Structure 1
Amino acid sequence: MKKFTFCLKLVSVSAFCILSSAFSTNDSLEEYTVFLQKSLSEHYDSSQEIKLVKKYELNVTNNGFCRYKRYFNNGKVEYFAFKLAKFKDLDYYGTTTSGQLYLRTKNDDVIVQTYKDKTGDVDSMATCIVIPLKNVEAEELNQIRENLERIIKLP
């Protein structure tokens, strides 16, 4: 009888563990990056730079990078990129209608490359990327911050 009770407990505990792990949510990098890409794309404000920039590319990749490229009317190209795991903090300067999002990194972790500039091509490092945004509420900025912070905590 003791053997049967022990086996029953063992099976019950195993079944409980399997069921609880089946319904738990395993957050993945892809979930966070998809959210970030969607949020930044929806709220990007090209009107802040319309006189200078003819087009832009803003990508948050599934392998954990944020890439922002601006093509200026005069032919100059600026490229910014950083690994999301290096995120430190964000600041937003402006109103809910229009403002600028500063994505800050721990050190000089932002790659900055300039092409076709009058002064020549330049490669350097920076501590932040500035992205113009519009129609963004405080709650949405908090969700962006939370997703970036969760990426840092991923194994």
Structure 2
Amino acid sequence: MAFVLELKTSSSQDYIKNYIISIIREHGIKASVHKEAGKIVCALASGHKDLQGCVDAIARRLPASCFLTGSAHYETKEEPQSLPSYEIRYPLGLGLCPSCQKEIFDPSSRRYYYPFTPAATAQDSTDFLRAFPMSARTPLLSSFRPAGSASLR
């Protein structure tokens, strides 16, 4: 049997689907995920001990997106096949953390709809702008020289 989660989306891009696949892989659940006619369909093995943890992680970590317009879930007798393969081309921590989302979308917050809201608890993933994968040799500010420095790194 499988637990099926359908997410309605208006986006033709695969980044939301790939993000969900990555979360499912972290939990080691047998699943199949595909896109069809305006929705992403995720079938997860309903007998897995960490199914609830995986669904909670998807709900907690999936970035707020104007392209996600609704959801539905149900059980089916069919077993999920396998996750599709894809090449990871970007880090997974690019979405806003729940704390930042709450602050940005709260009309009473002074940071309401302010796009550069950083949370003290959020990880800084801006180094990916310089090079990916991130490393100490490719920091975001490496193009700036300290005062009095004659050479760049």
Q: TM over 0.5: same fold?
A: no
Give the shorter-chain TM-score range: under 0.3
Structure (1 or 2) with the greater strand fraction: 1
TM-score of the superposed pair, with normalisation by structure 1:
0.28
TM-score of the superposed pair, with normalisation by structure 2:
0.28
- Could you say which structure has the larger radius of gyration? 1
Task: Point out which structure has higher relative CO (alpha carbons under 8 A, 6+ apart).
Answer: 2
Structure (1 or 2) with the greater helix fraction: 1
